[in-house]
Amino acid sequence: MPGGHIELKDLCKKFGDVVAINHIDLSIAPGEFFSLLGPSGCGKTTTLRLIAGFEDATSGQILLDGVDLAHTHPHKRPVNTVFQAYMIFPHLNVYENVAFGLRRQHVSRSDIRHRVGDALELVQLQQLAHRKPSQLSGGQQQRVALARALILHPAVLLLDEPLGALDAKLRRQLQVELKALQQRVGITFVYVTHDQEEALTMSDRIAVMSHGIVEQVGTPREVYDEPTTEFVADFLGISNMISADAQPDGSGGCRLQVGEFTLMAKVGATNSRGTVKCVVRPERVKLEPYDSSGGNRVPGIVEHLVYLGSATRVVVHLATGQTLQSLIQSDGVHLPYEQGTAVQVYLPPDAVRVLRPVGQAVAAAGSGANDEPEAGEPSEVRAASGQAIEGSMQ
């Protein structure tokens, strides 16, 4: 389906003195599954409500296919919303719930029958058309809400944590189904969640938000493997954060002094100088025998092991005084570690990522704020003016 290109330009929303959305810029491509990810209070739901028209912007533009909708009434916007509470009518059966919007538009009875049939087939509920909501499971009710929203052919579908009320196993199943559904219908999905697994599983791109600003925009792989700020690195997955003193080595890398040990970093803001934070994902941390030698190794003592089934998490206290975690995939071989085992911790230079200094978290691409711009950094991420209030409304 054509259309569905969303552009947020210098968008700001205040509730009294509280800044909920702090002058953000975003561009969401037609047909993209785009997620707004962040903790409670970060502004993701407020952003969604601004796009839907349920809140009025304090300033800025909300463009849909080039048309500014910032001051357009919700019912006149070509968008539909699916909420965490599905809001399906308890007194109507599945067929009548899905047909409700079409009847409001005075669509002919034969066209309603045809389009409802297609919508129910799309969400695999053909056999349940005459059931009442009370006779459906949570996952089935979610599908009814999706069918009712999609049957009106919106340019954009907004989803506000629609899987939040479901149990973990069903939620994982529906994550896959929802992504497949979006690919079939081909319209733009904007999905709000605080669940990083949901965002990583379904999204084409993710905007990670904090305190009303966009910290980083990128593909799931980019925001996980290539975080640019301490917040993104810490929020997504388990992160080993290392404080170090940085000095560029003149060859595109960075020399890090961590206590009496020197490490090399090859990725991130490697032209940084002075005190920096670095991140290493646990799956990139390698444990070796204590007598191993070579660069980027720090001795340590195993504190404890956590068996996770598919992997084992090994917590190591380093000679620098810091604690790191290593994630070792289970392969049927017994691990030679126990509490008190002395090891060398190897941190590959291409796994040690130097994060941007504080104050450069959302600098515009090409502004020169970051000494070494990240490859593929989105141009829509820009410096936020002012400071978002810590307790900003979501």
Distance CA 4, CA 63 (A): 10
Distance CA 141, CA 137 (A): 6
Tell me the per-residue pLDDT of 156-176, one tens digit each, with 9 for 90 and over: 999 998 887 677 777 888 888
Average pLDDT, rounded, for the chain: 86
Residue 50 has pLDDT above 60, yes or no: yes
Tell me the per-residue pLDDT of 310-326, one tens digit each, with 9 for 90 and over: 999 999 999 999 999 99
Reference 34, options 7, 55, 12, 56; nearest CA is 7
Residue 54 has pLDDT above 90, yes or no: yes
The per-residue DSSP string of 304-345 comes to EEEE-SSEEEEEEEETTS-EEEEEEE--SSPPS--TT-EEEE
Residue 47 has pLDDT above 90, yes or no: yes
pLDDT score, position 165: 67
Tell me the per-residue pLDDT of 230-269, one tens digit each, with 9 for 90 and over: 999 999 988 899 999 999 988 889 999 999 999 999 999 9
Please give the CATH architecture assigned to the domain spanning 6-225. Answer: 3-Layer(aba) Sandwich (3.40)
Per-domain residue ranges of the chain? 6-225, 230-354
Q: What is the mean pLDDT of residues 90-119?
A: 90
CATH 3.30.365.10 for the 230-354 domain, yes or no: no
* Three-class SS state of 176: helix
Distance CA 214, CA 353 (A): 20
- The answer to whether the CB of 175 falls within 8 A of the CB of 196 is no
Report the chain's C-alpha Rg in angstroms. Answer: 24
Distance CA 292, CA 276 (A): 28
pLDDT score, position 45: 95
pLDDT band at residue 299, thresholds of 50, 70 and 90? very high
> Within 186-287, where are the H helices?
196-202, 220-225, 230-235
Distance CA 141, CA 118 (A): 17
Please state the three-class secondary structure of 5-27 as a single string: CEEEEEEEEEECCEEEEEEEEEE
pLDDT band at residue 371, thresholds of 50, 70 and 90? very low
